Structure 1
Amino acid sequence: MEDFMLPCLNKKFFGVECLGCGLQRSISLLIQGEFTAAFVMYPAVYPLLSLLIFVGVNFFYPVKFYGKIVAILGGLTALVMVVSYLLKYL
């Protein structure tokens, strides 16, 4: 599966990783059952996964405070992405 992963164009052209670098490998590790390694590879994988699952479930079973919950989960995901990106370079 790793042979078919897309390269990061930001890293390829500029030599700097982007906020999404590691996501594909992290999902691959999740599929293989390596949950800790997936988190180490890309810490935002679990907030992002919870956001996507919530949006998918809401499609079939609408939730009253959908907008607020999506905003909170989206904000949490963005925060984890930015903090992990900054910690990578400190």
Structure 2
Amino acid sequence: MTLILSVISPEDFMLPCLSKQLLGIECFGCGFQRSLVLLFRGEFVAAFKMYPGIYPLLMLGVFIALNFFFKIKYAEKIKITLVVLSIVFIVTNYTLKLIN
């Protein structure tokens, strides 16, 4: 079993970015899959550097899941805040990638 896990890595199953392949330009989601892999490996700072929007998006996902099962006060305001925060992180990261 250990031999199989050392031969197969999560990177083998990642989807390619069609925007980057066809146009040569990264999309807003470029780095998300690699960031998730880094996150699962416990490399939290590297995951943030790879894709800064990972943490607001995960918080949004967890919040939506919790809100599905429990009634949370001010849920709509919290969701909107997390969505805006995610968009700001993603757009800022994308702009910085284009500039550099």
TM-score range relative to shorter protein: over 0.9
Q: Which stretches in structure 2 are left out of the alignment for 5+ residues?
A: 1-9
Counterpart of 1:5 in structure 2 is 14
State the TM-score, normalized to the length of structure 1: 0.96
Deviations 1:10-62 (A, max 9, x none): 11111100000000000000001010110000000001110001001111112
Gaps (5+ residues) in structure 1? none
Q: Aligned residues, how many?
A: 90
Greater than 2 Å deviation, 4+ residue runs: none
> 1:30 is matched by which residue type in structure 2?
L
What is the TM-score of this pair, normalised by structure 2?
A: 0.87
Hey, what does 1:83 align to over in structure 2?
92
2:89 matches 1:67:
no
Identity within the alignment, %: 52
Give me the whole-angstrom Cα distance separating, in 2, the residues matched to 1:84 and 1:17.
Answer: 11
Report the aligned-residue RMSD: 0.7
Q: 1:40-55 alignment to 2 at 5 Å?
A: 40-55=49-64
